[in-house]
Amino acid sequence: MKTVQLWVDGHDTAGRGEPIPVEDPATGEIFASCHSASACDVEDAVAVAQRAFKSGVWAKAPRETRATVLEKAAALLVEQLPTLIPLEVRQTGRAVREMNAQVPSLVRWFRYYAAVLRTEERPVLPTSGKLHNWIEREPLGVVVQITPFNHPLLIAVKKLAPALAAGNSVILKPSELTPLTSLLLGPILKKAGVPDGVFNVLPGLGPVTGKALVSHPLVRKVDVTGGTVAGRAIGTIVGANLARYTAELGGKAPLIIFKEANIDAAVNGITFGSFIASGQTCVAATRIIVHESVLSDLVSRLKQKCESIMRRMGSPTNPESSMGPLVSSRQLERVEALVEETRSSLESAQVICGGHRMSGLSPLDGTNLSRGYFYPPTAILLQNMGSSSERPALWTEEAFGPLIAIVAFATEDQAIQLANETDFGLGAGIWTNDLSQAFRVSGQVDSGIVWINTHHRNDPSSPWGGATSESGVGSENGLDAYHAYTTTKSIIINYASAEESLAYDDWFKEGAVNARYG
Ligand code: NAD
């Protein structure tokens, strides 16, 4: 069995914490053991990262140098795809078709932030007086990034690229479920030219390694993607340290399907939004709000599509496999419990497809589904839900599985009200060919991202973050993410002549009347 270590100061380093077994969710096999970082390892790594920061080797390197390194990292990542993709598939259980599409797209983040460095302008401000006032952006210091299991490389790179572009020293703590590919970023970034100590990877459990990292007083920013419970716990600690905080947390995305929508396109959008990553995404389209006049048509087409996906589920390594297993037995139990709770609490709930764990042999490739955590695409029609305080958990809680709830609406106002019935406000979708309706409704849905006639678009330039507290604080992507990894320095030069300064800049001159103040 493969054993991997921490990545600290530019090389593999033994961890002193409890080793973490890494499981293949498709087979239940433990196929790797990962060292984990103890509190002492955290202390050492923060010291290494702080030393690298203070040395200025990266923090004060010219922007041109940092941009070139990020571009090299993009090129080296492409070279490493044949190693990265299969490992990402094995540790997450996600179908190789998804990872073949997702992992190569990461280079866009390195290239985008390299381009930000190459094109960054420093504003000169209209400060009054004979003053030339401009803004410099400086790195923060040691920053900690904590990532979840569902898109290990994507989320790491989304955070790393702006943090490194800005000149920070980074410590990445990947999910304990999927730590392996993040560790491979160490040698890639080193080869690209990131100096030793500037990028470090410390796998470990959240409440042990994660907590020690976010509590460290030298850490100047924490950027986490994870569940709302973890986000709140971490935020409390980070707030007490007066460090900066970005948190990308949970979601419960609504999709409103108007009668004006193209129903086939909407069904494709629902299934993509709901079942990519087996529904284990923060923007998973989990609440489908459908106009009553198109409900039965949509439900029957959706059922066909779900059954087709289910027939094609097999080994995640099979390029024809449509959807992989859930990441763990815990996640599977959670999904099963939500479905049972819906069945028992709402008699009128109608399971349209799926609804039970998969077992036996896959019709696609004979994979023994009973060994893994396979759960089929599951759609449940919720009727007579009662008042908003009586909603089933399927409607209100993040499932993180291939589960969707469908409800009907009669009026646009009802649809908006149903969409906004959530404490999460991360992603939302609207399906309609009536553009004025699209504009009108998008303005009223409480969500950080609203997609119209599409779902789950993610571009390095486009902000990604929640609009309400349960979904997080701040956002990833774009200039905002880069700025959030910097602090501004306002530099003010007085270009008045010595004579002018002497005349007006002596506040305590005896008898002064025209002296400058402020
Ligand atoms: P999780 O909250 O269990 O863990 C996320 C990370 O936080 C892991 O690395 C974990 O070790 C760490 N962690 C947990 N508790 C911690 C603590 N007390 N102190 C420090 N670190 C701690 O989440 P998960 O199950 O890995 O991922 C699923 C969650 O992530 C979902 O809620 C999902 O919505 C969210 N997510 C959000 C986005 C987004 O962009 N908003 C994207 C992907 C996933």
C-beta of 148 in contact with ligand 1 (< 6 A) = yes
C-beta of 197 in contact with ligand 1 (< 6 A) = no
C-beta of 282 in contact with ligand 1 (< 6 A) = yes
Q: Identity (one letter) of the amino acid at 65?
A: T
* Mutation probe of ligand 1 site: the residue of 145, 146, 400 with most atoms within 8 A of C-beta: 146
Which residue, by CA, sits nearest to atom 31 of ligand 1? Answer: 227
413: left (phi over 0), alpha (psi -120 to 50) or beta: alpha
Q: Identity (one letter) of the amino acid at 149?
A: F
Model confidence pTM above 0.85: yes
Whether 199 and 26 have beta carbons less than 8 Å apart is answered as no
Which position has the higher pLDDT, 515 or 402? 402
Express each pLDDT in 334-381 by its tens digit: 999 999 999 998 888 999 999 999 999 999 999 999 999 999 999 999
Q: What residue has token string 């904590």?
A: 146
Whether 226 and 148 have beta carbons less than 8 Å apart is answered as yes
User: Catalytic pick from 23, 71, 88, 248?
Assistant: 248
**Does 248 participate in catalysis according to the annotation?**
yes
* Mutation probe of ligand 1 site: the residue of 109, 224, 286 with most atoms within 8 A of C-beta: 224
Report d(CA 440, CA 181) in Å as an integer. 43
Beta bridge partners of 488: 137
Mean pLDDT of all residues in 299-307: 98
Token duo for residue 231: 């986000």
Report d(CA 131, CA 125) in Å as an integer. 9
Express each pLDDT in 216-262 by its tens digit: 999 999 999 999 999 999 999 999 999 999 999 999 999 999 999 99
Express each pLDDT in 158-187 by its tens digit: 999 999 999 999 999 999 999 999 999 999
Tell me, what's the pLDDT at 515? 86
Tell me, what's the pLDDT at 518? 66
Alpha carbons within 13 A on the beta-carbon side of 165: 31
C-beta of 425 in contact with ligand 1 (< 6 A) = no
